[in-house]
A = this chain, B = another copy of it.
Amino acid sequence: MADPRSVEVLKEALQRLPGVGPKSAQRMAFHLLERDRDGARQIGEAIRHALSKVNHCRRCNNFSETELCPICDSPRRDATRVCVVETPADLEAIEQTGIYQGSYFVLMGSLSPLDDIGPDQLGVDRLLARVTEQPVEELILATNLTVEGQATADFLIDLMATVDIPVTRLARGLPMGGELEYMDPGTLNQAFEGRKPVRD
């Protein structure tokens, strides 16, 4: 290795980022050290700050700097409806539509035995506590329609049956702007199975 030790260490560290291999890490290290030392300082500082500040909301498990996140803490949100999502990014996507005024539970992942993510890692006991401590009229499953997301949904459906909580699931079918010609068979299948009578 021709690079100084501390550059090598930086390149190795950057590979801890998801989707970053040796080549990208090298490019990033070069960029930070040669073109953007301010940016490097900013990243280091932001990491330090976030690590010390960010924890999980006691109720919904989302990232939060306070014990209760602003959504759980808001009196305007309907606490009897809980929408279960995999990640904060999913929650944000739903929030941006503005269509949902209930509360959330963020699993922070999905069941994935290959990655050693089982029910314990997803904080399922916290979800159970959440739905039993406060009255919940509807648990809306909004996991991804991936294999892991589906397995997670199936698991939660069984679990909620044990505590008798009504569970719903986001509708599956053709997405907006979808062209049948380009839809995969799975989506077409769902669209057919879920077809509804047209009301006058």
Please give the residue numbers on chain A whose beta carbons come within 8 Å of chain B beta carbons, in ascending order.
1-7, 9-10, 12-14, 16-19, 24, 26-34, 36-37, 39-51, 53-54, 62-65, 69-71, 87-89, 91-92, 95, 108-109
A125 to chain B, nearest CB (A): 17
| Given A18-B28, A28-B18, A89-B26, A13:B45 Cβ within 8 A | yes
| Given A9-B50, A10-B47, A46-B12, A30:B65 Cβ within 8 A | no
Say how many copies of this protein the assembly contains: 2
Whether B27 and A50, one on each chain, are in contact in the complex, defined by CB atoms closer than 8 angstroms, is no
| Given A17-B31, A54-B4, A47:B44 Cβ within 8 A | yes
| Given A6-B54, A14-B43, A30:B88 Cβ within 8 A | yes
15 additional contacts (CB under 8 A) given A27-B89, A30-B88: A1-B92, A2-B70, A5-B65, A6-B53, A10-B46, A12-B46, A16-B43, A17-B39, A19-B24, A19-B27, A33-B50, A33-B63, A43-B43, A43-B47, A44-B47
What is the interface of chain A mostly: helix, strand, loop, or mixed? helix
Chain B residues lying within 8 Å of A18, measured Cβ to Cβ, are 27-28, 31
Whether A13 and B42, one on each chain, are in contact in the complex, defined by CB atoms closer than 8 angstroms, is yes
Which among A5, A7, A28, A62 has the greatest number of chain B C-beta atoms within 10 A? A7
Chain B, Cβ-Cβ closest to A104: B2
Whether B49 and A6, one on each chain, are in contact in the complex, defined by CB atoms closer than 8 angstroms, is yes
| Given A28-B18, A87-B30, A7:B41 Cβ within 8 A | no
Whether B4 and A46, one on each chain, are in contact in the complex, defined by CB atoms closer than 8 angstroms, is no
| Given A30-B87, A87-B30, A6:B44 Cβ within 8 A | no
Which among A28, A34, A37, A50 has the greatest number of chain B C-beta atoms within 10 A? A50
